Amino acid sequence: MSFHPFVEESAYRRIDEIRSVVGVAACALVSSEGIILGKYFPEGGLSSSLFAAMCATVIASAEAACGSANIERPSMVTITAANATILILSAGEATLITAVIDKSVDLPRVQRQLSDIAVRIGEEA
């Protein structure tokens, strides 16, 4: 798969920005179809392609649930587990930020910081 150089460069810049948020253990920029646009996953970690596809599925399911309840499209889905949190944020119409967040950090602060990044990405698109 090949991307336009500017798009690829922009994706890597955004991944670096997302990684700089304290508490982000892994992250990816993902298309709404589940295609990875950029990623950071530590060695020996999870399968990035499966993670991306599942996160796109989760946000699509959340959108369907909101639609059936006459609620606006969700901007963020939070999955909380005992040892980490997964955040999936809409970043424009066709891009998602997906991030695995360490349990030891202030989650509302991380959510705010990632939301700000999502807005900037959405404005670029």
Kindly list the structural domains of the chain, giving each domain's residue range(s) and its CATH number in brackets, ordered by start: 5-124 (3.30.450.30)
For 51-76, the pLDDT digits (tens) are 999 999 999 999 999 999 999 999 99
Q: Distance between CA atoms of 107 and 117, rounded to whole angstroms? A: 15
Which pTM does this prediction carry? Answer: 0.89
How many whole angstroms separate alpha carbon 124 and alpha carbon 29?
14
- Contact status, residue 95 vs residue 31, Cβ threshold 8 Å: yes
Distance CA 21, CA 107 (A): 11
In DSSP terms, 94 is beta-bridged to: none
Q: Binning pLDDT at 50, 70 and 90, where does residue 45 land? A: low
d(CA 15, CA 19): 6
Cα 112 to chain centroid, rounded: 13
